[in-house]
Amino acid sequence: MERGKNEGRRALGKGLEALIPGAGSAARPAIAPREYFQCPVDRIQPDPDQPRRKFDPAALNELVESIRGQGVIQPLIVRRLRDGYVLIAGERRWRAAQLAGLKEVPVVIKDATDKEAFEMALVENLQREDLNPIEEAEAYKRLIEEHGYTQVEVAERIGRDRSTVSNSLRLLGLPTEVRGMVLDGELTEGHARALLQAGSAQAITSLAKKVAARGLSVREAERAARTVSSGASGKGKAVPAKPEKSAQVRTLTERLQRALGAKVVIADRRGKGRLEIHYTSYEELDAILDKILR
């Protein structure tokens, strides 16, 4: 597993270098002086479609102080407009430069389509780990719905595992109010994933407020979500008698459980029925899917 994580990080870094030359390291002079110029900050405007929507005020203030002392070290990446430029990467630096009182900032002009610019902005934010989990999920969704990518293609483009993209997209199944709590930092990504197990939107929202108010851990949130889900599913229902399983069904159940490393239930009635594969976490689900789909 550790090897896979390291390979993902290397792929992401490589993808960023390919899209934005020299962006892999802010410490070294990534771009030769002739490749950029000083541009008035008022000729640059942010991209309304960029993936990132939240900017931490404390972190922004730290960057302002750094820029006052050192200036903007790494150029911003922009596209031409008829009367100026629009940002592809570097909106936080652009905001901080204005707050620091700078009139000009170094920029690099990049010829890019809307699609290419969105991908560059997404990769840069992922590289810097600047995106909130909900922002990241929404960006993946846009690549799929607006740009026609599959989940596998999204994973390849950004240098991450397919399971990472899949797990991220699941967060968009949260109610709007709960997504807002994740955006505001009241809940972590781990909490958000745990809450999905609670079932209905009303149950998830109610539990999310309790988790945030009580400061519950992710593990505690998982237990609470499972309790809520099991209570809702069993309410008002009679417990049916369990039919006796045939020897063939028992054998097949055991084989599947050994192969998948998970609890398996086969409900069979004269050659018709259903197959259930149980999991206790998204990590376990990903491991099961990898075994099925490989």
Tell me whether residue 284 is in a domain.
Answer: yes
* Residues contacting residue 43 through CB under 8 Å, at least 6 positions apart: 83, 84, 85
Are residue 56 and residue 187 in the same domain, yes or no? no
Are residue 219 and residue 81 in the same domain, yes or no? no
Q: Tokens in use for 96?
A: 């901080």
Q: CA 156, 85, 132: angle at the middle one, nearest 5?
A: 45
SS3 23: coil
Q: CA 53, 145, 56: angle at the middle one, nearest 5?
A: 10
How many structural domains are present in the chain? 3
Mode of pairing for the β-strands spanning 84-89 and 76-81: antiparallel
State the Cα–Cα distance between residues 290 and 286, nearest whole angstrom: 6
* Residue whose tokens read 């990504």: 189
Instruction: Give the CATH number of the domain where residue 133 resides.
Output: 3.90.1530.10
Active site residue 91: yes
State the catalytic residue, choosing from 17, 62, 91, 146.
91
**Residue from 177, 115, 175 nearest 149 by CA:** 115
| Contact in structure between 20 and 120 (CB atoms under 8 Å) | yes
Are residue 63 and residue 123 in the same domain, yes or no? yes
pLDDT in 10s for each residue of the chain, 294 residues? 444 444 443 333 333 343 333 434 333 334 343 467 888 888 888 877 766 666 667 777 888 888 888 888 888 888 887 788 888 888 888 888 889 889 988 888 888 777 777 777 777 666 565 678 888 888 888 888 877 888 888 888 777 888 888 888 889 899 999 999 998 888 988 899 999 988 888 999 999 999 989 888 889 999 999 888 877 555 544 434 455 567 777 778 878 877 777 787 888 777 778 888 887 777 777 778 877 876
Full domain range(s) for residue 11: 2-21+29-164
Are residue 6 and residue 91 in the same domain, yes or no? yes
- Alpha helical stretches, state H, 20-174: 57-70, 91-99, 114-128, 133-145, 151-158, 162-170
Q: What is the pLDDT of residue 209?
A: 93
Are residue 12 and residue 81 in the same domain, yes or no? yes
| Contact in structure between 212 and 221 (CB atoms under 8 Å) | no
* pLDDT digit string, tens, across residues 147-171: 788 888 888 877 788 888 888 888 9
